[in-house]
Structure 1
Amino acid sequence: MKENRFKKFAEAEVEEVPEVVEAVEEPKQTPKETTSSLVAKLKSDSSEKKKNYQFTLQPSQRKKLSKISEKLGIRSDSALLGEMIDNLYDEVFGE
């Protein structure tokens, strides 16, 4: 029988980080300088190999994500998500 490759994710325990929960629940306006630095960072490629992951979004969130990527001139929605995750992680954990 073939092993379910998503089994590890389904069994993983998720720890809520208050800062992340707050950031997700109460989005703040992004200053233009932060947006510019985000776009600049996205233009450089990461050396880490990418893997495919599957998750769900509300249709309205998906449309918003695509609009943001297009407006900022970012090559893909996943590149935008990746950079947002990295930036939020650095902000929360100070790295």
Structure 2
Amino acid sequence: MIEVKENRFKKFAEAEVEEVPEVVEAVEEPKQTPKETTSSLVAKLKSDSSEKKKNYQFTLQPSQRKKLSKISEKLGIRSDSALLGEMIDNLYDEVFGE
């Protein structure tokens, strides 16, 4: 006959846990989704590009660079340059109707 031992996590589960307000708030608040206009700019992610990529250099304000990184992270885009590329392609299509 197999002997069943006491669940080793039982005491942990029964222990009283002190709630940390910041954690409770973060868990209870629904995640905000990006605005419709933002998502429409990056909705059509093109993973396959037949056009070869080249390096370009341009300047941004440090605050703009931070914002760009935050947007990429929030939308789950692999890199800031990928986000910029998609934004340019989608905005171009929107402006010129292509």
Could you say which TM-score interval applies, normalised by the shorter chain? 0.5 to 0.7
Report the CA distance between 1:46 and its aligned residue: 1.1
Deviates more, 1:31-40 or 1:85-94: 31-40
Aligned to 1:89: 92
Superposed counterparts of 1:26-65, under 5 Å:
32=35, 35=38, 41-42=44-45, 44-65=47-68
% identical equivalent positions: 99
Q: CA deviation at 1:47?
A: 1.5
The C-alpha deviation readout for 1:67-94, integer Å capped at 9, x for no partner, is 0000111000000000000011111111
Pair 1:37–1:91, CA change in 2 (3 A): closer
What is the CA distance between 1:44 and its match in structure 2?
2.0
* TM-score normalized with structure 2 length: 0.57
Match of 1:18 in 2: 21
Instruction: Work out the CA distance in 1 between the residues paired with 2:82 and 2:66.
Output: 15
Q: Which residue of 1 aligns with 2:77?
A: 74
Return 5+ residue gaps in structure 2 as ranges.
none
TM-aligned CA deviation for residue 45 of structure 1: 2.1
Q: CA 1:28 to 1:73, structure 2 compared with 1: closer, same or farther past 3 Å? A: closer
CA contact (8 A) 1:38 1:83 kept: yes
Could you say which structure has the higher helix fraction?
A: 1
Number of aligned pairs?
Answer: 95
Deviations 1:31-79 (A, max 9, x none): 7556556555325221110000000000000000000000111000000
User: 1:42 touches 1:83 (CA, 8 Å); kept in 2?
Assistant: yes
1: CA distance between counterparts of 2:38 and 2:30?
Answer: 14
Q: State the distance in 1 between where 2:70 and 2:84 align.
A: 13
